[in-house]
Chain A
Amino acid sequence: MADNILSEIKSNFSMIKQYWIINAKTAIEYKGSFILQTITMFLNDLLWITFWWLFFGRFPLINDWTYNDILLLWAFGSIGFGLSGTFFGNKMNISELIAEGKMDYYLTLPKNVLLHTLISKVNWFACGDILFGVIIGGLIIKPEQLPLALFLMILSTALFTVFGIISGSLAFFIGNSQRISKTVYDCVVGLSIYPTNIYDGFARFILFVIIPAGLVTGVPVELMRNFNIDQLILMITVTIVFVIIAILFFYAGLKKYESGNQIYVNA
């Protein structure tokens, strides 16, 4: 039994590695485009922190956050978003794949549909984000906090991926949902790039627990400022719960796809 699981993990890694190679070859084929995209994302992030620099120049504090905290927010956001886009780049295309019946491809192949779907494309724009995040993080994260930061970045990556899966999977249930999926995803990600300590009461509850957008970047920043074991446990728990929800939601949708009311177009 354990043997089986081990060999399944091994074969999945083999497939993931091969997808990496094939995506990398595509990037090399269009290296001009790859470099341009990386630089663009990097500059995009840079312009954002320039905006905040100007803003904080005028208003040194937002509640108790300083410019340094915004930079930390951006470090988590860009690395989490970047890693998610690199390893699970295809999450952005889920709603399109569903709408165009392209899930058929994954269904005829002998691998886990969700994993296969997520890893088959790398979103190279994300490399610019990683580069940016690493530089910023390198500049402002103190060495003794590095292990915590790295752990939190893994959780952020998982959450960004979860957002992509859930918003994309809406397409299983709502026809023509590409716009809605995109809007939902953009709203959640959009929230994570603004300071998260500005909400209270009901809004805070919604944004940190129900739609854990605040968790992706806000809580890591809070944890780095003032470590609090309870908050850490909350973050880990919510992340795990949402990973499970995302997987269940996707497969529930896939079942609906396979019972076929979407596919009538291709008769």
Chain B
Amino acid sequence: MQNQSKDSTIITIKNLTKSFKSKIPVEGIRGKIKSFILPKYKKVNAVDNISFSIKKGELVGFIGPNGAGKSTTLKMLSGILFPDFGELTVCGLSPQKNRKKLAYKIGTIFGQKPQLWFHLPAIDTFELFSKIYELDKTEYQKRVDYLIKKFEISEIIHQPVRKLSLGQRMRCEFVLALLHKPEVLFLDEPTIGLDITIKKTIRELIKKINREEGVTVILTSHDMDDVETICNRVIVINHGEIIYDDTLDKIKEKYIDKKIIRIETNNPIIFKEREGITIIKKSTFEVEAIVDTTKVDFNKITEEFLKKNSLSDVTIEEPPIEDIIEKIYKLKKKGNSF
């Protein structure tokens, strides 16, 4: 492991901007022919003047609705796309000018685009990549044995990938991405289409390798549980702009303004309705309500309720993080203090 101060920045983005020309689709045969000869384009700002930096070892979640600019940013970081404007440094290199050099230091997993050869055992693709990354034979052998043990795939690496389950394939993809000891791992929707148990395993593995190898992880995902479990920092992007850049805890602190409470009682419920409490369901022994914590003192209400009722069951929920994020998506950066 490198002996560097824990605070070293590994990724810097300044004023990054990227726009695309997108063909305006036309209906009908006449329109299609016209559009083929003289297409009309509209300009879309995929990434609009964003800046941030990421330190070594961070686990950053990059979230936003579809078309927000997440994948575009990731692609610019990994050298696949060139920005229109702005500065971009990854591991001290410019992805545009030093694509090949940078490629040795980064690993990528794009959810929908597996890199393992489908009809062959994973071990064959591992060997191939060892040649592509020019890994020394002995070092490679040590490394691959280590990763195989860590990701628990020793039983399956000799079977053709097409015979493996999705979860097994994903673990092999991770090993593949980590063979060359990358400093940064870019994960674009790594858990898409996987079921919940596999997702949990993958999340654990990501955290593990970050802990043990200090790999910086940049992750995009539509699954908020992925982000909640893995990331210590969240960057919310929408319409190409960064709307939020801080930890998830701070989001919750700031934006959770209601709780959903469900109560079952032993006695017929005695309860006075008031402003700030919206009843969703009510029957003789049960009530479900949304409590607006900005208008009502939650503790006081609960105390009051307990004085008059005997509880048999209580559930208190915060609104799902998705709702909060959606709200944030709607906020614009200008004029809003975060």
Contacts and interface: CB of A to CB of B under 8 A. Distances in A.
A251 B133 CA distance: 22
A202 interface: no
B124 A260 contact: no
Contacts of A18: 127-128, 131-132
Contact of A111 (B20, B80, B132): B132
Given A26-B120, A260-B20, A263-B81, A104 B75 contact: yes
Contacts of A22: 117, 120, 124-125, 127-128
> Chain A interface residue count: which class?
20 to 34
Interface string B191-220: 000000000000000000000000000000
Contacts of A102: 113
B151 interface: no
Majority-rule SS of A interface residues: helix
A18 B103 CA distance: 19
A109 B18 contact: no
B106 interface: yes
B101 A110 contact: yes
Given A26-B119, A105-B115, A108-B103, A267 B46 contact: yes
A263 to B, nearest CB: 7
Contacts of A263: 75, 81
B71 A266 contact: yes
B100 A110 contact: yes
A26 B128 CA distance: 13
Nearest to B107: A108
B131 A107 contact: no
Contacts of B106: 108
A4 to B, nearest CB: 13
Interface string B239-255: 00000000000000000
A15 B134 CA distance: 8
Interface string B131-144: 11110000000000
Contacts of A26: 117, 119-120
Interface in A17-34: 17-19, 21-22, 25-26, 29-30
B21 interface: yes
B66 A267 contact: yes
Given A18-B127, A29-B160, A104-B110, A260 B18 contact: yes
Given A26-B119, A264-B22, A267-B67, A108 B79 contact: yes
Nearest to A27: B119
Contacts of B82: 258-260
Interface string A96-117: 0000001011011111100010
Nearest to B121: A25
A18 B113 CA distance: 21
Nearest to A103: B80
A237 interface: no
B99 to A, nearest CB: 7
Given A18-B127, A261-B20, A264-B20, A107 B71 contact: no
A44 interface: no
A183 interface: no
A231 interface: no
A163 B132 CA distance: 27
A21 B130 CA distance: 13
Contacts of A66: none
A111 to B, nearest CB: 6
Interface string B60-85: 00000011010110010011111000
A50 interface: no
A68 interface: no
Interface of B: 18, 20-22, 44, 46, 66-67, 69, 71-72, 75, 78-82, 96, 99-101, 103-104, 106, 108, 110, 113, 115, 117, 119-120, 124-125, 127-128, 131-134, 160
12 contacts: A19-B128, A22-B127, A26-B119, A29-B120, A107-B99, A108-B79, A108-B106, A116-B132, A258-B82, A260-B72, A267-B69, A267-B72
